Amino acid sequence: MGGPDVQEVPSSPAGSAPSLAVTPPTSQGQTTSQLPKWWARPKDRLAQFIKYCRTYDLFGQLSKVEDGRERPQIPTADVVLGLFFTAVLRLPSLNALEGELKKAGFQRLLGLPVQLNEKAFSADTVARVLDSLNLDQLREILHDVVHRAERNKAFRDGPTGAQRPVALDGWQPFGSYHRHCKDCLQRKVKFKNPDREVIQYYHTFVVPLLLAGDAELVLDVEPLRTADLRRQDGETADTHDGEQTAAMRLVDRLQAEFGSLIDLTVLDALYPNGPMMTRVTERGYGAIMTLKKETDEPLKDALLLMAGRPPDLVWDDAIKKEHIVAWDVDDIETLDTFQGKVRVLRAEISSLSKPMQPTRTWCTGVIGELARHLHPRIVHDLHRRRWHIENTAFNQWTQHWHLGHVYRHSPNAVIAVMLLWCLAFNMMQLFTYRRLRRPRVPKDPCDTIKDLVTLMKDAVAALKAPMPWRLLRDT
Ligand SMILES: [Zn+2]
């Protein structure tokens, strides 16, 4: 999806009117004078968030997403908008959404006339929409937000400087011993007392999180496929996808969609092997990888080369209060399955504030021309930022975004929920750290967003008139 470049809306100084309150007449000849009064309040977080999403043409795009229901009574756009705000406001289930749909505030949020104690539509309708919602369109919107953020220079002044690293990792939102759908992966789990083996059903995604700017954005999600799905795709397979197979497919798609917007992948200890390293470098990317097994190449050879040698670099990190001693070797070519050269950085870290704490060691494998020429401190810092995918994304998704809960269990719904929630997550990241300029540190980012969600929920409850979405979807 294309669209005009949009500019970041700068934070309004306290007391001044936000810029969109004086938007010129729209193509329909309507003016923002038709917007409710609260729209012009400079510190109304809900109004600010909706205005901000509007600069990404988010609501225009969401209103065009289709589903496969025949003769639908409820417009898909209303349900999709309801789902987007279910994610933003962190409602824990479709039943909770149904509860909100009986309230005046949420009905007005969706632009609907108020019918007190009568739900605007049911959880069953939402479930049916999720079962056939167009995943390609949702994915395109997710990509479009990233492209627009890039045009807004969201990734040019981030903490990683010139590098645009993407952490890739597998994530399983939920597992069940009872409920399953035809696209569930399966594994046997052993229990004791009594001794038994039970089948667990689950879904897993490989998630790429762009770590380049203050806002950390999800670029896509790649589900692991069952053996059936793999055969439908023409593969000869009797097992489901491994995480690495899905990750390689994802690297291909990232390259096709984002090209040089990304420089590097940041990978955990599952990935430093020939096939993955070959795929990443063939697609023009570098990689910064966790190396754990001292008996495996390339770490085995690197440790031999480092043995008995003085360190190559020693530095203190004043912010983390750490003393770091590092060894750095390059041009390792001992892997039979990878034709390129590997650099290995080994860093021993001791705490300056707690000298009794044991020393920790980080071993980093580095491939790709650009990455192999980075300063050791940058390599080490980029490697440690891998944890952001655990902290910023996965932990928050489980603890605060309720993604460990099954909103709707069907093959299409599981992916649709992931894509919609990632879209809400990205908009919240951009809104919090770009629009409102909240610092990521030292304040806990979770608390910042949690506070904003509370303010937005209060604003929804206080809405006095239906949101004029016909006007707001028009950019
Ligand atoms: Zn399933």
Using one digit for the tens of pLDDT, what is the confidence trace for 287-296? 999 999 999 9
The answer on pLDDT for 95 being more than 90 is yes
The answer on pLDDT for 2 being more than 70 is no
CA distance 67 to 244: 31
Q: Which is nearest to 170 in space by CA: 263, 267, 265?
A: 267
Instruction: Give the distance (Å) from ligand 1 centre to CA of residue 322.
Output: 45
The answer on pLDDT for 4 being more than 50 is no
Long-range contacts of 177-181 (CB under 8 A, 24+ apart): 177/201, 179/406, 179/409, 180/409, 181/409, 181/410, 181/411, 181/414
Domains and their CATH numbers in the chain: 19-135+407-472 (no CATH), 153-398 (3.90.350.10)
Q: Would you state the pLDDT for residue 27?
A: 41
- Quickly tell me which residue has 């149904």 as its tokens: 98
Instruction: Give the distance (Å) from ligand 1 centre to CA of residue 393.
Output: 22
Instruction: Give the distance (Å) from ligand 1 centre to CA of residue 203.
Output: 6
Instruction: Give the distance (Å) from ligand 1 centre to CA of residue 408.
Output: 9
Q: Is the separation of the CB atoms in 12 and 19 below 8 Å?
A: yes
93: which residues sit within 8 A by CB, 6+ positions away? 402, 405, 407
Chain centre to alpha carbon of residue 193: 40
Say how many C-beta atoms besides its own lie within 10 A of residue 125's C-beta.
Answer: 21
Q: Between the CA of residue 7 and those of 180, 218, 260, 434, what are the distances in Å?
A: 44, 21, 22, 11
300-320 in b/e burial notation, b at 16+ Cβ within 10 A? ebbbeebeeeeeeeeeeeeee
Could you tell me the two tokens for 85? 């705000």
Strand partners, 209: 167, 218
Instruction: Give the distance (Å) from ligand 1 centre to CA of residue 411.
Output: 6
Q: Would you state the pLDDT for residue 154?
A: 86
Q: What is the pLDDT of residues 120-142, one digit of tens each?
A: 999 999 999 999 999 999 999 99
Instruction: Count Cα atoms within 13 angstroms, Cβ side, for 88.
Output: 27
Mean pLDDT on 417-442: 91
Instruction: Give the distance (Å) from ligand 1 centre to CA of residue 101.
Output: 27
Answer with the residue of higher pLDDT: 31 or 117.
Answer: 117
Instruction: Give the distance (Å) from ligand 1 centre to CA of residue 126.
Output: 18
Instruction: Give the distance (Å) from ligand 1 centre to CA of residue 202.
Output: 6
Q: Between the CA of residue 155 and those of 6, 24, 255, 373, 430, what are the distances in Å?
A: 15, 30, 17, 21, 11
Q: Would you state the pLDDT for residue 34?
A: 66
3-state helix, strand, coil in the chain (%, to 5): 40, 15, 45
- Identify the H or E element spanning 201: strand 196-202
CA distance 452 to 49: 10
Q: Where are the alpha helices (DSSP H) in 134-260?
A: 135-151, 227-232, 243-258
Chain centre to alpha carbon of residue 182: 26
CA distance 80 to 424: 12
Q: Between the CA of residue 172 and those of 332, 395, 414, what are the distances in Å?
A: 34, 11, 11
Q: How far apart are the first and last CA of the chain?
A: 14
Mean pLDDT on 231-235: 95
What's the mean per-residue pLDDT of the chain? 89
Instruction: Give the distance (Å) from ligand 1 centre to CA of residue 174.
Output: 9
CA distance 18 to 115: 32
Instruction: Give the distance (Å) from ligand 1 centre to CA of residue 417.
Output: 13
Name the CA dihedral angle for 361, 215, 154, 370, rounded to a multiple of 10 degrees. 20
Instruction: Give the distance (Å) from ligand 1 centre to CA of residue 410.
Output: 6
Mean pLDDT on 274-281: 97
Mean pLDDT on 33-39: 70
Between CA 427 and CA 422, with CA 284 as vertex, the angle to 5 degrees is 15
Instruction: Give the distance (Å) from ligand 1 centre to CA of residue 183.
Output: 5
Q: Would you state the pLDDT for residue 194?
A: 86
175-184 in b/e burial notation, b at 16+ Cβ within 10 A? beeeebbebb
Handedness of CA 284, 290, 296, 301 (dihedral sign): positive
| 443 DSSP 8-state letter | S
CA distance 65 to 77: 7
Instruction: Give the distance (Å) from ligand 1 centre to CA of residue 217.
Output: 26
Instruction: Give the distance (Å) from ligand 1 centre to CA of residue 413.
Output: 9
Q: Between the CA of residue 370 and those of 220, 287, 344, what are the distances in Å?
A: 24, 10, 14
Instruction: Give the distance (Å) from ligand 1 centre to CA of residue 220.
Output: 19
Mean pLDDT on 407-415: 97
Enumerate residues with CB within 5 Å of ligand 1 (an ion).
Answer: 181, 184
Percent with pLDDT over 90 in the chain: 78
Task: Look at strands 185-191 and 264-267 and give their pairing.
Answer: unpaired
Instruction: Give the distance (Å) from ligand 1 centre to CA of residue 403.
Output: 14
Q: What is the pLDDT of residues 309-361, one digit of tens each?
A: 999 999 999 988 999 999 999 999 999 999 999 999 999 999 999 989 999 99
Q: What is the pLDDT of residues 179-202, one digit of tens each?
A: 999 999 999 999 998 899 999 999
Instruction: Give the distance (Å) from ligand 1 centre to CA of residue 76.
Output: 23
Residue 14: band (very low, low, confident or very high) from pLDDT cuts 50, 70, 90: very low
Residue 18: band (very low, low, confident or very high) from pLDDT cuts 50, 70, 90: very low
Instruction: Give the distance (Å) from ligand 1 centre to CA of residue 103.
Output: 32
The answer on pLDDT for 430 being more than 60 is yes
DSSP letter for each residue of 85-137 = HHHHTT--SHHHHHHHTTSHHHHHHTTPPP-TTS-SS-HHHHHHHHHH--HHH
Q: Would you state the pLDDT for residue 161?
A: 62
Q: Would you state the pLDDT for residue 32?
A: 56
Instruction: Give the distance (Å) from ligand 1 centre to CA of residue 189.
Output: 17
Q: Which is nearest to 328 in space by CA: 307, 353, 311, 352?
A: 311
Instruction: Give the distance (Å) from ligand 1 centre to CA of residue 66.
Output: 22
Instruction: Give the distance (Å) from ligand 1 centre to CA of residue 186.
Output: 9
The answer on pLDDT for 263 being more than 50 is yes
Could you tell me the two tokens for 41? 């309040």
